[in-house]
Amino acid sequence: MRVPAPIAPVVDLLFPPRCPLCGAGLMTQDGLCAECWATLAVPGEPACTRCQRPFPDSIRDGAVCAPCLADPPRHAGIAAGTLYNDASRRLVLALKRGKRIALVPMMARLISARLTDLDESWLVVPVPLHRWRLWQRGFNQAGLLAREIAKAHGARLAVDTLQRRKRTPTLGGLGRRARARALSGAIAVDSRRADGLRGANIVLVDDVLTSGATSDACVSALLRAGAAQVRIACFARVLDEALEHT
């Protein structure tokens, strides 16, 4: 992901570093200008003890949010680098559609900051892409983020643990049952990797967490394979109500 030090001056000369959001000049290829940094919404405390959904300051520590009380999650927590807003959306699109893979280290650092207890005993697993989507895009953005996170914490990277066995439609706008139908049978553990999952602590990595349907399918597959716990880590989490309290 990072440009090798010996050729960095040449790369900077040919492609001067600029902020991917506003175009201002930068010192390095993988950051934002100060003004654009300030537009990112970083989740804070207090937060739900089960899913880390940010609360207003008036809520006491140790509280559980209403969605988790109504439907307790199977995952062991969510670590989001940012809340999904215009700035984070543009960064995600710059990576996925603009192929700005130089953004990956910066995005992964924001996620890693929320994973303070991650160490070499954990497995880092990306949410998979279907092979046709991977062929079209040329890379799996979740896999790139997972590699940087594993490297930062000395954890073990397992990029091919999960497989997306069928193409799924865009889940945006679908109801809960429709999303479940679309994902039924879509995600499974690679049988060659199943033995290494028994009793494992796993961090599941994706770029954006929206409804949670895809990550829930991944968590279920990993738990069925014998994982001890699965935490979800993402760059941007869609929580419009939480943006009001940042």
pTM above 0.85, yes or no: yes
Determine what percent of the chain is predicted with pLDDT higher than 70: 87
- Using alpha carbons, list the distances in angstroms from residue 70 to 66, 67, 73, 76, 177: 6, 5, 9, 16, 17
User: Would you state the pLDDT for residue 205?
Assistant: 98
- What domains sit in the chain, N to C, each tagged with a CATH number? 19-243 (3.40.50.2020)
Q: Which amino acid is at 181?
A: R
pLDDT digits (tens, 9 = 90+) for 169-199: 666 566 667 777 777 788 999 999 899 999 9
* Number of neighbours of residue 225 by Cβ within 10 angstroms: 21
pLDDT digits (tens, 9 = 90+) for 52-75: 988 877 677 778 999 999 999 999
Backbone angles phi, psi at 229, to 5 degrees: -160, 155
